[in-house]
Structure 1
Amino acid sequence: MRIAGKTARDPRSGIVDVWRREVGFLAPRAFARRYGASEDLVLRLGIHRKLKQHTGCVNCISFNANGNILVSGSDDKKVILWDWETGFVKLSFSSGHKNNIFQARFMPSSDDRTIVTCAADGEVRLAVLQDGGYFVTTLLAKHDGRAHKIAIKPGSPHIFYSCSEDGLVQHFDLRTRSATKLFKCQAFQEKSFYMPIVHLNAIAIDPANHNLFAIAGSEEFARVYDIRKCRWDGKSCRKPVDCFCPLHLIGENEVEITGLAFSEQSELLVSYNGEQIYLFSKRHGLGPDPLCDALPHSMDMDDTSYTNEKSIYSSKENLNFEPEPEVYRGHSNRDTVKGVSFYGPHCEYVASGSDCGRIFIWRKKGGELLRVMEADKYVVNCIEPHPWTTTLASSGIEHDIKIWIPNAVEPASPVDVSEVMLIYRGDSWFASDGSDYDDSDDYNDEEDDDNDDDVDDDSDIDATDGSDEDGDYEFVIDDYNRDDISNGKNDSEGDDNDTGMLPGSQDAKF
């Protein structure tokens, strides 16, 4: 019997598929893909290991193409390369940045010897591994605001993009080590109460069409651009080829996008600050000028107030739009710039961190919340899926990185969104029933003075009990002054060219 609202399990999954593979009825690759997409594995995810070396919040994590090395960047301005399976630090070096690192990624097909980084100081830097086992870092370009994200052209060892709160999108070619300023993102309609420049938080490249990239920031629209339509003076690239936004958010003044991700099917995943996560396909596009294209042709844009526009957009009977995009609910995204990710061999799931310190995983099709996992004392900002296994990495305000694998003996119980969802009111958290949410008793742990291997201890941790052996960290979310950054007023100074290794770190051997 099938219970309403629940998905029936296929009785042929699991052990039967193992038997079919062993007797030759199921190809090993087909088995791996089917098994990797199994919902049962999602329900068995648990903490396998904690990677401890950073002395600040870990703002970015990324696997190399082979999946055997994880690179991380932190408020401590260090970049660390991990053998995440053993917890061993392969190499650790000073990035040369003067402020918190926001992104660190390997360049493809570089034998993991080339890393690009961006940070709160607005700099975009290149780090190259030398034969002596150390990295040399070089300044490639500088933004006038915090540089949040880098997007690397899939498979290219040379091409990537950066975006920043100054609204500027830059294109880089490492063959010439040059940066081209493509354009500054400007609001579609200037409003008197905020600047016309869109402060950019996220950028992503479509893996199915490398000519298309999406950007988003301090407005309601996620914009998609075609690099083929860009002249290198930037004049013809200011207009996107398409835009995406839920209809009810068009015209909202306080809306901001913090995270973007493309699926292998060219779907665009968008995470809104103070709102939900939405999944758009091409049929949801609003066109290159959404404030005009979304209006009925019989109306004069100049005679329509912004308030009236909003009511028009929200009236579906006046618009010929496809069904609403898929929505993913339950998490909270208010305090920090959070990313969002697809998970699974064919992007079958959606994953995000939350202000409540938990990881949320939804089924992509239908938006059902499957897992809620305790992952940080404060906030989870980053979720990074392994390129070809069911492993996840997560990081946030705490100074460690958590590695998740399907290691639980029993699958997790079904999730009730109404029970796990927290409501933010003013400066306080409340449970969904309106009662005060107080997690102070969950984390009264002693300082962990361990220099030993955490493999055995961490592999058996129950991710839902809130216990941790880490020390207590002060919860501070920095609000940097853009003027200070642009004027070079930073806590510490760094050279444009820098080399560095942390004492005691090991030479990289790839």
Structure 2
Amino acid sequence: MKMFSKENPRVVDLVRQRELSESCAASLSRKLQVTDDLVARLGLEKELEGHGGCVNCLEWNESGEILASASDDTHVILWDPFRYTKKKVFRTGHSGNIFSVKFMPKSNDGILVTGAGDCCIRVHDITVSDTILVCSCHKGRVKRIATAPSVPFMFWTAGEDGLILQYDTRVPHSCTSQDRRGVLINLVNHLGRLAEAKCITINARRPELIAIGANDAYVRMYDRRMIKPSTCQATPASNFDAVNENSEGIDAQAHLQRAGKGDSDDNIPLGCARYFVAGHLRTRHQDQKRNRSLAATYLTFSADGNDLLVNMGGEQIYLFDVNKGSSSKFLPKWTNGTRYSVPGDQWCSDQKRDEGIQLETYFKHNDPLVLPIHIENIKEEANTAFQKQKYTTAINLYNKAIAWCPHGAVLYANRAASFMKRAWDGDIYAALQDCQTTILLDPRHVKAHFRLARCLYELNRAPEAHKVIKNFQQNFPEFATNSACRALYKDIKKALGSEETNEEETDEVEEEEDKDEVEFPVGQVAQGVSAHELYWQRNSVDYDIRFCGHCNTTTDIKEANFFGSDGQYIVAGSDDGSFFIWDRETTNILRVLRGDESIVNCLQPHPSSCLLATSGIDPVIRLWSPRPEDGSQNERAIENLEDVASANQLRMKSNTFELMLLNMGYRFPGQQDHNQDQSGDDGDERERPMSPSQTSQPLNCRQS
């Protein structure tokens, strides 16, 4: 897990420095923009009424003086967020739900771009209330528009036809021209004809970097300077029959001939793309019903341009380091008999280290086996929560302790045990990462080695689990006869398809493991994926931080955003009508607020103050700001954070029928076996592995 680290000067020091230097005024303002105290007091300030349908998108102008909103009613409203009044209301001309609205950079807030379900892009001059450009090059719904603050006149769009289009308002546009090179990326050529682009964003600090989310588990980042735009001739028309009936000049057969075969003109070089994916989502051993529900619904770069935040539909929220080297491997590698190498060194963000550096050097002044007194107290509190089967409470406490003491091996080991017991989506893989970190910090930690084998087994990686358990038996012979070890070994051998595994078979497993994994995009097959796509997926980068608690299965426009001048908080909406605020460093939930009667989709923080705009199914925009400290009760605040988060995870694991029953008030018993080991690393060794037949396989709802 990557720790969020930054210089953190005290407010009193900044106030003192401001008296001596005016240059400190900006630093003080940023420091006080969003603080823990302000987040704790956040409440509903005002509801802005005016739309006649769901509000699908919100956008602040650069100064934060105007808030633009667009809705299913095909209207755009410009608001004065401080006087709660409408500055302008105009019809866009769209015939479908508007999904995205953007101010054009350097236009004095006079030019707006909208994209909608009618497959059209419209550019509006709001000073004269006129539409100056209408584009119908997309043949699927337009889901997102992206702009870069430092790049005037240009914008980019992502559509469900799999196309990423690039526009320059200085150049005359014609949708019928076969010579216009406006296609930046065609996902269909690489993923197959079912590919859809769901979201897009531009790195404000490095505008050459463009990130795209599609209807699979992978997030794609390209350097657009290396891409040669192509023509619109190959615009797909196979996925949207209703649109195809009215489409002219589109050769669907020609498009299908290129699907999954790569670009005909090879306009995207291998070196210009980098893929990101949560390690447990890239494996090919996934339930096909759940695979179809995965899609990135929103992504955004951090203010410094170093991190990419992704809201993965049907799963959790992930933060990726865009500067991390490629091939952040999913599986651990066995070295020196008792140590695993951890690519990327995820356990410590403030001290990046290359693989192979001696641990003794780092731990000369940091003993991983000795914890400070206050950290020891937090650990004991977490252990008590673990014993009471309050696994989320235990994880939150371990998160807090690790933020203070990132070299404590036992903290990662105990958190791994808690993850394995809680078993939310991605928890087993998170436990695997913690086991790797524990072994890196303390190579002789027995339970970490055993749990690592168990995690691999539960992730359906039986060959790797077999290798780890064999090494465990060789390096810790005193535990080889333990009943838990023997039971796990038996289950792993059974999963391998043979009760007797000879040395030749083991060598073959090890030889195969050293080869690059060929893994396919969610919902696709090998024949429908280009060679470039396979290469990019094979070299994809794993996540650094994960945020859990919300539910994202019902809509495919649900956002997640950074909140605060340094992005020290993460905010996202949920299918239960609430929105969540996480601490970025500890990943713990700080607040849950009721933001909609049905679903919260959009959350856009104000650029310079502690003000948050949200919207969803309700035809209103809600503004949230710190409430006065007058002792009044915040009726929008949800107190029991863990229960809400647990209910959302159950909702994500439910199938359509179970979800209907949940909405009717029915509750299902937990799927965890509480007869398993209830001790942390300070308790007795009583771990009993569960076979796949003993574990309920979670199911996700499909996205609409």
Q: Comparing both structures, which one devotes a greater share of its residues to helix?
A: 2
Tell me the distance in 2 between the aligned counterparts of 1:96 and 1:137. 12
Alignment correspondent of 1:242:
274
Tell me the distance in 2 between the aligned counterparts of 1:128 and 1:376. 32
Q: Residue by residue, what CA displacement relative to the aligned partner does 1:124-174 show, whole Å, maximum 9, x if unpaired?
A: 1100134xx533353034311110000102222301100111000100001
Tell me the distance in 2 between the aligned counterparts of 1:303 and 1:85. 50
Tell me the distance in 2 between the aligned counterparts of 1:54 and 1:271. 26
Partner SS for 2:587: coil
Q: 1:385 to 1:401 in 2, by over 3 A?
A: same
1:339-350 correspondence to structure 2 within 5 Å:
339-350=559-570
Tell me the distance in 1 between the aligned counterparts of 2:617 and 2:638. 28
Partner SS for 1:342: strand
Instruction: Tell me, yes or no, if the aligned pair for 1:257 and 1:273 is still in contact at 8 Å.
Output: yes
1:44-59 correspondence to structure 2 within 5 Å:
44-59=41-56
Task: Quote the offset at 1:403 in angstroms.
Answer: 0.8
Letter in 1 for 2:515: M
1:471-486 correspondence to structure 2 within 5 Å:
none
Q: 1:387 to 1:302 in 2, by over 3 A?
A: closer
Alignment correspondent of 1:369:
589
Tell me the distance in 2 between the aligned counterparts of 1:104 and 1:305. 29
State the TM-score, normalizing by the size of structure 1. 0.72
Find 1:32's aligned residue among 29, 32, 35.
29
Q: Residue by residue, what CA displacement relative to the aligned partner does 1:31-87 show, whole Å, maximum 9, x if unpaired?
A: 211111411111111111111000000000000011000011000000111111111
Find 1:224's aligned residue among 199, 221, 225.
221
Q: Residue by residue, what CA displacement relative to the aligned partner does 1:457-485 show, whole Å, maximum 9, x if unpaired?
A: xxxxxxxxxxxxxxxxxxxx996xxxxxx
Alignment correspondent of 2:203:
206
Alignment correspondent of 1:182:
184
Instruction: Tell me, yes or no, if the aligned pair for 1:242 and 1:288 is still in contact at 8 Å.
Output: no
Letter in 1 for 2:642: S
Find 2:611's aligned residue among 376, 391, 396.
391
Instruction: Tell me, yes or no, if the aligned pair for 1:93 and 1:135 is still in contact at 8 Å.
Output: no
Of the structure 1 ranges 296-305 and 219-228, higher mean CA displacement relative to structure 2 is found in 296-305
Task: Quote the offset at 1:353 in angstroms.
Answer: 0.6
Tell me the distance in 1 between the aligned counterparts of 2:28 and 2:521. 57
Q: 1:330 to 1:301 in 2, by over 3 A?
A: closer
Alignment correspondent of 1:129:
126
Q: 1:86 to 1:173 in 2, by over 3 A?
A: same
Find 1:333's aligned residue among 552, 573, 578.
552
Instruction: Tell me, yes or no, if the aligned pair for 1:187 and 1:197 is still in contact at 8 Å.
Output: no
Alignment correspondent of 2:147:
152
Partner SS for 2:135: strand
Find 2:602's aligned residue among 382, 389, 406.
382
Find 1:274's aligned residue among 314, 319, 323.
314
Q: 1:203 to 1:302 in 2, by over 3 A?
A: closer
Alignment correspondent of 1:261:
300
Instruction: Tell me, yes or no, if the aligned pair for 2:591 and 2:641 is still in contact at 8 Å.
Output: no
Instruction: Tell me, yes or no, if the aligned pair for 1:326 and 1:366 is still in contact at 8 Å.
Output: no
Task: Quote the offset at 1:285 in angstroms.
Answer: 5.7
Letter in 1 for 2:184: L
Task: Quote the offset at 1:231 in angstroms.
Answer: 1.1
Tell me the distance in 1 between the aligned counterparts of 2:570 and 2:274. 23
Task: Quote the offset at 1:282 in angstroms.
Answer: 2.8
Task: Quote the offset at 1:346 in angstroms.
Answer: 1.6
Find 1:359's aligned residue among 560, 576, 579.
579
Instruction: Tell me, yes or no, if the aligned pair for 2:592 and 2:638 is still in contact at 8 Å.
Output: no
Tell me the distance in 1 between the aligned counterparts of 2:624 and 2:224. 37
Alignment correspondent of 2:488:
none
Alignment correspondent of 1:61:
58
State the TM-score, normalizing by the size of structure 2. 0.53
Task: Quote the offset at 1:236 in angstroms.
Answer: 3.6
Instruction: Tell me, yes or no, if the aligned pair for 2:326 and 2:541 is still in contact at 8 Å.
Output: no
Alignment correspondent of 2:138:
143
Letter in 2 for 1:388: S
Which structure's CA Rg is the greater one?
2
Find 1:299's aligned residue among 502, 506, 515.
515
Task: Quote the offset at 1:257 in angstroms.
Answer: 1.2
Find 1:428's aligned residue among 660, 664, 688.
660
Q: Residue by residue, what CA displacement relative to the aligned partner does 1:324-362 show, whole Å, maximum 9, x if unpaired?
A: 520000000000021211111121111111001111111
Letter in 2 for 1:212: L
Tell me the distance in 1 between the aligned counterparts of 2:540 and 2:570. 24
Q: 1:283 to 1:229 in 2, by over 3 A?
A: closer
Tell me the distance in 1 between the aligned counterparts of 2:520 and 2:145. 38
Task: Quote the offset at 1:177 in angstroms.
Answer: 4.3
Partner SS for 2:76: strand
Tell me the distance in 2 between the aligned counterparts of 1:245 and 1:22. 44
Structural RMSD (CA)? 3.9
Task: Quote the offset at 1:391 in angstroms.
Answer: 0.9
Letter in 2 for 1:335: T
Tell me the distance in 2 between the aligned counterparts of 1:142 and 1:52. 33
Partner SS for 2:596: coil
Tell me the distance in 2 between the aligned counterparts of 1:172 and 1:332. 34
Letter in 2 for 1:394: T
Q: 1:196 to 1:305 in 2, by over 3 A?
A: closer
1:419 equivalent to 2:631? Answer no
Partner SS for 1:40: helix
Instruction: Tell me, yes or no, if the aligned pair for 2:319 and 2:543 is still in contact at 8 Å.
Output: no
Alignment correspondent of 1:9:
none
Q: 1:116 to 1:392 in 2, by over 3 A?
A: same
User: Identity, % of aligned pairs?
Assistant: 31
Partner SS for 1:157: strand
Q: 1:478 to 1:52 in 2, by over 3 A?
A: farther
Q: 1:286 to 1:334 in 2, by over 3 A?
A: farther
1:93 equivalent to 2:317? Answer no
Instruction: Tell me, yes or no, if the aligned pair for 2:316 and 2:546 is still in contact at 8 Å.
Output: yes
Of the structure 1 ranges 87-96 and 228-237, higher mean CA displacement relative to structure 2 is found in 228-237
Tell me the distance in 1 between the aligned counterparts of 2:577 and 2:47. 16
Tell me the distance in 2 between the aligned counterparts of 1:305 and 1:114. 38
Alignment correspondent of 2:5:
none
Q: 1:102 to 1:321 in 2, by over 3 A?
A: closer
Of the structure 1 ranges 328-337 and 416-425, higher mean CA displacement relative to structure 2 is found in 416-425
Partner SS for 1:158: strand
Letter in 1 for 2:280: H
Letter in 2 for 1:83: D
Alignment correspondent of 2:621:
401
Q: Residue by residue, what CA displacement relative to the aligned partner does 1:99-118 show, whole Å, maximum 9, x if unpaired?
A: 00001111111111100010
1:428-447 correspondence to structure 2 within 5 Å:
428=660, 430=662, 435=667
Tell me the distance in 1 between the aligned counterparts of 2:168 and 2:603. 28
Letter in 2 for 1:198: A
Tell me the distance in 2 between the aligned counterparts of 1:17 and 1:126. 47
Q: In the comparison of the two structures, how many residue pairs are matched?
A: 410
Task: Quote the offset at 1:226 in angstroms.
Answer: 1.1
Alignment correspondent of 1:8:
none
Tell me the distance in 1 between the aligned counterparts of 2:15 and 2:329. 55
Tell me the distance in 2 between the aligned counterparts of 1:137 and 1:173. 13
Q: 1:304 to 1:276 in 2, by over 3 A?
A: closer
Instruction: Tell me, yes or no, if the aligned pair for 2:276 and 2:542 is still in contact at 8 Å.
Output: no
Partner SS for 2:26: helix
Q: 1:168 to 1:35 in 2, by over 3 A?
A: same
Tell me the distance in 1 between the aligned counterparts of 2:152 and 2:550. 36
Letter in 2 for 1:274: G
Task: Quote the offset at 1:322 in angstroms.
Answer: 8.2
